[in-house]
Amino acid sequence: MKLYFADDPEEWLDWPVILRRCFDEDRVFYSRHARNEMRNEELGPISDGEVYEAIVSGDVIESYPEDQPYPSVLVLGQTKRSRPLHIVCAYARPDDRVIVVTVYQPDPERWAADFRRRKS
């Protein structure tokens, strides 16, 4: 399993494990921006359940170790109905909590067919 760099050069975060654990333990905070994006997604609203399904099935496709105040990652996952979702999550280590920064259904015009890479 891949490890992703954290804010301390001596420490690495196992993002998939941290994300799943925090979601399973209900240690998740949704930012106001994430809630707005979920509610107003042009391809249909996104539920908390869909976010959970995408996190559990998902892969970290980008890492942002320098993000402040906490390192973050972009997760690509699918819901049980095969809806692709991108979820940007940060990990607040002092609170042992995942912060959902934003959630959206990737636009095929802007992303490659597998939704893992931006189109040039």
Residue 50 placed within a domain: yes
Give residue 4's pLDDT band: very low, low, confident or very high (50, 70, 90): very low
* Residues spanned by the domain of 47: 16-104
**DSSP classification of residue 118:** B
Q: What's the confidence (pLDDT) of residue 2?
A: 45
Structure pTM?
Answer: 0.88
How far CA 69 is from CA of 7, 72, 87, in Å, comes to: 10, 9, 18
Residue 115 placed within a domain: no
Residue 118 placed within a domain: no
54-63 pLDDT, tens per residue?
A: 999 999 999 8
Give residue 3's pLDDT band: very low, low, confident or very high (50, 70, 90): very low
Residue 94 placed within a domain: yes
Residue 2 placed within a domain: no
Q: Above 50 in pLDDT, residue 12?
A: yes
Residue 71 placed within a domain: yes
Give residue 15's pLDDT band: very low, low, confident or very high (50, 70, 90): confident
- 83 or 67: which leads in pLDDT: 83
CATH number for the domain spanning 49: value is: 3.30.2310
92-109 pLDDT, tens per residue?
A: 988 999 999 999 999 999
Residue 85 placed within a domain: yes
23-72 pLDDT, tens per residue?
A: 999 999 999 999 999 999 999 999 999 999 999 999 999 988 888 998 89
DSSP string, 47-115: -HHHHHHHHHH-EEEEEETT-SSS-EEEEEEE-TT--EEEEEEEEEGGGTEEEEEEEEPPPTTTB-TTS
Residue 26 placed within a domain: yes
| Geometric angle at alpha carbon 98, from 40 and 112, rounded to 5° | 55
Q: How many domains does the chain have?
A: 1
Q: What is the dihedral of CA 74, 106, 35, 40, to 10 degrees?
A: 170
